[in-house]
Amino acid sequence: MGVPDGTNAENTDTGKEDPGTPTEQVNNEINAAEVSSWWRSLFGMDPYQAGGGGTGGQFMFASLQELDTVIKKWTDERDGILADRDAIADAYHAVKEPAGDMMSLSQANASRDSLANMWHHSDSMLKYAENYIAKLNASRKQIAVTEDGAHARMRSIQA
């Protein structure tokens, strides 16, 4: 007897999904943080804090060099956020009313309000990136210690 359409006789779902490459994981985290921060800012909520990343809150790295590449990408992302914040602050302070009438004052204030919101969003993203970089560096340190211990055990076995 066959299996009716739309059903699966064998459950092949192990509940574990491949977290993807480190680059995919980083891009997914950046995208998720941007969307989450945007939604949270719409409702006046606190900025999103850095999470664990990957399946089950953990990344999987094949080597320290791979992890270093991910840390470099996040550091570059943070540096870009800092540059954007500076540009936003410069634009905020450059807004001037073209005239003294109510409409000119109102438009200049609206522009400053918009730029202030951009700066606050950028500040949330900066905190997220800095927290994430700190977590990645802590993971790197832990992996390095573990690898050093494994190498030492192997040297003692070979001796």
pLDDT tens, 58-109?
556 667 888 899 999 999 999 999 999 999 999 999 999 989 999 999 999 9
**pLDDT mean over 106-113:** 95
Q: How many residues are given for the chain?
A: 159
- Per-residue DSSP letter, 43: T
> Is residue 32 classed as helix, strand or coil in its secondary structure?
helix
Buried b (16+ CB within 10 A) or exposed e, 37-63: beeebeeeeebbebeebbeeeebebee
The token pair that represents 150 in the structure block: 């494994």
Q: What is the pLDDT of residues 12-38, one digit of tens each?
A: 555 566 667 766 777 677 767 666 666
Query: Given CA atoms 111, 116, 121, 122 in this order, what sign does their dihedral have?
Result: positive
The token pair that represents 59 in the structure block: 């990344």
Note whether 129 and 77 are within 8 A (CB). Answer: yes
Mean of the per-residue pLDDT values of the chain: 76
pTM of the model: 0.56
In the chain, domain spans: 22-36+63-158
